[in-house]
A and B are shown apart, each in its own frame.
Chain A
Amino acid sequence: MYVAVKGGEAAILATHDLVAEERRGDVSVPEISVEQIREQMQLSVARVMNEGSLYDEDLGALALKQTQGDLIEAAFLMRAYRTTLPRFGSSVPVDTATMAIRRRISATYKDLPGGQVLGPTYDYTHRLFDFTLMANGEHAPAATAADHSLDAAMPRVPDILGDEGLMEAEVPPQHDPRPFDLTRDPVEFPAGRDVRLQTLSRGDEGFLLGLAYSVQRGFGGNHPFAGEIRMGEVAVSFVPEELGFEIDLGEITLTECQMVNQFKGSIEQPPQFTRGYGLAFGHAERKAMSMAIIDRSLKAREFGEAAEYPAQQEEFVLYHCDNVEASGFVEHLKLPHYVDFQGELELLRKIRREQKERLAERKEAAE
């Protein structure tokens, strides 16, 4: 039971002042600007946009500044802000095949049409500190540009295998239904693929990474290959009811991951590769990869696989991957629970008193 507490206003207001001072840190050090965070902490901003489920780089940067870089608190700010805004509609589904590619790799095909593009990645760095960043800052870095742009057509890798019929097909269900929206309707089980993917999109990167790792280590029984990872800019378009035609609203950065998994087939289906899909805002590769592995493991039901492991149990995964909900419930424990605890304390005292009396009675009877 919840009982309200009163008072403490002055103390609470003082915490606001104190946290503002802590946030600023040593005032002899220049203040960081939102623009600096947006430009120089892009990967943190991407994570905040993903888990806050709102694409806006300026707001992601502001959220990080306001929360001293606490990613979950920052995501919470994004979620709170979006509830104050009207919803204008849904985009035309983004077409990642037309992405303006900045990175595109495949661990399954060496030579693919369009080529492998490493792009901006830490994969081949040595993980050694660059102390010049600390000492006197870097010299204006300049990336090399090739003479020619990338090929205009960069087919998605699973679509290549799909042409041979070796890959599980990804086709829209009949009538291409409007997707479920968990911000509007309660999630129910068994959950559809749209429910799962939306939940994973806004899920905590750390939680999804741990679960994906568990799948790879044997707690899930499938062996994923990174069929393709691509990152770049994708146009977002929208058909306003009042205009009746499609409008380009600009572009957003997306990371997409297509995981390819073995599947032995069944009586109805010849053996083929199965797929897991991950899509995330910004450059968020670890997130997209983890999401793709879990999307596949959550297909256990569809493929008649025994759902023995945590990553295969949709209720477990979908109900626990949201870090704003999770931190809300875990962290509410620090709020006053004086009455609940007093009740427990009274009960414990009573039980002990009664036990003592019973023991005394028994002793008396024995004598």
Chain B
Amino acid sequence: MSALDHSSLAMGLADPVFGSQLVFRTLLKAFAAPGTIFDLPETISGVPEQLPSAAAAALLTMADYETPIWLAKPFESIRPWLVFHTGASSSREPAEAKFAVISAEHSDVSLSSFHQGDERYPDLSTTLIVVCSSLEGGRPVTLDGPGIKDTIVFAPKDIKPALWAEIAENNALFPLGVDLIFVAGAKLAALPRSTQISGDF
């Protein structure tokens, strides 16, 4: 009779309290040092295979029933897992989402279609999790801005030139605009809206 199939469920974070604190701490550090790659311990069992463990950790830590989540096509099947562990509802429109998961390779949704925040509450904008195959070895871009001493080179794989262009436009909207978390496997790096991007993309 249940609306959802629970047969494949497993426990989320092995230690929900300290586990999520550790992930939250790492996310704070990542946003404080844009473009720097951080490792998350793989403590989550039963994560759907489409989802890198770093993305799963970030979602389990940040999402709850008050944060509607938008999932790009390749991730739609993780919905039951996500709902079970976080209680988060699905958002039909990208602009309604607090969080979103997109694929770097198959991205066909523009950043501007997500919630951009408003003048009084810029914090309301969507935070996007961008799933890549690796955070290194891709076409390099140069990052500059708050939290970066001089400049830093960031080269996640699979990012299309159009997405870099959009990220640059997103930065121009500051203090509005979305924040991005790039994930691959158990690694993540953050790119807040305040970071400037330059390079040949």
Residue ranges of A at the interface with B (Cβ–Cβ < 8 Å): 86-89, 184, 240-245
- Which B residues are CB-close (under 8 A) to A240? 87
Q: Is B88 an interface residue, CB under 8 A from the partner?
A: yes
Q: Identify which of A89, A184, A245 contacts B87 (C-beta below 8 A).
A: A89
Interface string of B1-29 (1 = CB under 8 A from A): 11110100000000000000000000000
Pick the most buried of A184, A241, A242, A243: most chain B CB atoms within 10 A of its CB.
A242
Chain B residues lying within 8 Å of A86, measured Cβ to Cβ, are 64
- In the bound complex, CA of A9 to CA of B148 (Å): 40
6 contacts between A and B (CB under 8 A): A240-B87, A241-B88, A241-B89, A242-B83, A245-B1, A245-B2
Cβ-based interface call for B66 (8 A): yes
* B: number of interface residues (CB 8 Å): 13
Does B65 have its Cβ within 8 Å of any Cβ on chain A?
Answer: yes
CB distance from B3 to the nearest CB of A (A): 3
| In the assembled complex, B201 has its CB within 8 A of some CB on chain A | no
The 6 closest A-B pairs by CB, nearest first: A244-B3, A242-B84, A241-B87, A89-B65, A241-B83, A242-B83
Which residues from A are CB-within-8-Å of B2?
Answer: 243-245
B66 touches A242 (CB 8 A): no
> In whole angstroms, how far apart are the Cα atoms of A314 and B55 in the complex?
45
Nearest-CB residue, chain B, relative to A90: B65
Q: Tell me the dominant secondary structure on chain B's binding face.
A: loop
B contacts, CB < 8 Å to A: 1-4, 6, 64-66, 83-84, 87-89
Kindly identify which residue among A88, A243, A245 contacts B65, using a CB–CB cutoff of 8 Å: A88
Whether A243 lies near B87 (C-beta < 8 A) is: no
Residues of A within 8 Å of B83, CB to CB, are 241-242
Tell me the smallest distance from the CB of A84 to a CB of chain B, in Å.
Answer: 11
Contacts of B84 in A (CB 8 A): 242
Q: A240-B87, A242-B84, A245-B1 are in contact. List 9 more A-B contacts (CB 8 A).
A: A87-B64, A241-B65, A241-B83, A241-B89, A242-B83, A243-B2, A244-B3, A245-B2, A245-B3
| Nearest residue, chain A, Cβ from B80 | A242
Chain A, residue nearest B2 (CB): A243
CB atoms of A243 and B66 under 8 A apart: no
A184–B1 CA distance with the chains assembled, in angstroms: 34
- Whether the pair B88, A184 counts as a contact (CB closer than 8 A) is no
Q: Which chain B residues border A184 with CB–CB below 8 Å?
A: 66
Contact B87 A242 (CB under 8 A): yes
Give the residues in chain A near B66, CB-CB below 8 Å. 87, 184
A residues within 8 A CB of B3?
Answer: 243-245
A181 nearest CB neighbor, chain B only: B66
A241-B89, A242-B84, A242-B87 known; A87-B4 Cβ under 8 A: no
With both chains docked as a complex, state the minimum distance between the C-beta of A306 and any C-beta of chain B, in angstroms: 31
Chain A residues with CB under 8 Å of B1's CB are: 245
Cβ–Cβ contact B4 & A244, under 8 A:
yes
Q: Which residue of A lies closest to B6 (CB)?
A: A242
**A120 to B: closest C-beta gap in Å:** 37
Report the separation of the CA atoms of residues A87 and B66 in the bound assembly, to the nearest whole angstrom.
9
In the complex, A89→B65 CA distance in Å?
6
Contact with A88, one of B4, B6, B87 (Cβ below 8 angstroms): B87
Docked complex Cα distance between A241 and B83 (Å)? 6
Taken together as a complex, chains A and B put the C-alpha atoms of A89 and B1 apart, in Å, by 22
Closest to A243 in B: B2
- Inter-chain CA distance A245–B65, complex, in Å, is 15
Q: Which residues of A contact B65 (CB under 8 A)?
A: 87-89, 241
Enumerate chain B residues within 8 angstroms of A242, measured Cβ to Cβ.
4, 6, 83-84, 87
Bound complex: CA A245 to CA B1 (Å) = 9
Cα distance A184–B88 in the bound complex, in angstroms:
16
> Whole-angstrom distance from the CB of B155 to the nearest CB of chain A?
38
